[in-house]
Amino acid sequence: MKRIFSVSYNHDLVHVWLIFLRIGVAALMLTHGIPKFMRLLEGNLNFGDPINLGPTVSFILVNFSEFLCSLLILFGLGTRLATIPLIISCSVAAFVAHADDPFGKKELLLLYILIYITLLVMGGGKYSIDALISPPKKRRR
């Protein structure tokens, strides 16, 4: 019973969970990003303009975040930086494009934002390309 209410955690399991979280959220977001990327390749740039940047610029920025940044998160390369465009993109979708929609329409976007903020704080974990290319940590005395 003590373990159920314990606030300690296993550091190795945190890193295992981070790889599952990265792969899962990247795969889910790529279901949105790949069709938009295919539209971009076809030259179909029709898209909304929620923050008055123009439909083409908005579409390219959404493609960058949903497709490219999701791939970076999938492999754990620049994980923290890759989350920032996704946080912005999901925030614009939730709070601007779907501002008048009921909460149920925004709920998934808000969950994505929470996951991306978690990855921003935690990083990609030790099973990521980030961990392979980062300098070794110095031991504290």
pLDDT in tens, 52-98: 999 999 999 999 999 999 999 999 999 999 999 999 999 999 999 99
Structural domain containing residue 28: 10-131
Confidence of residue 141 (pLDDT cuts 50, 70, 90): low
Q: Is residue 112 part of a domain?
A: yes
* Residue 97 tokens, joined: 């494009």
3: DSSP letter: G
- Domains contained in the chain, number: 1
Q: Is residue 5 part of a domain?
A: no
What pLDDT, on the 0 to 100 scale, is given for residue 78?
97
Q: Is residue 1 part of a domain?
A: no
Q: Is residue 43 part of a domain?
A: yes
Decide: 81 and 88 in contact? Cβ < 8 Å: no
pTM confidence score: 0.90
Mean pLDDT of the chain: 94
Q: Is residue 14 part of a domain?
A: yes
Say how far residue 106 (Cα) sits from the centre of its chain.
Answer: 16
Q: Is residue 83 part of a domain?
A: yes
What pLDDT, on the 0 to 100 scale, is given for residue 80?
98
pLDDT in tens, 125-134: 999 999 999 8
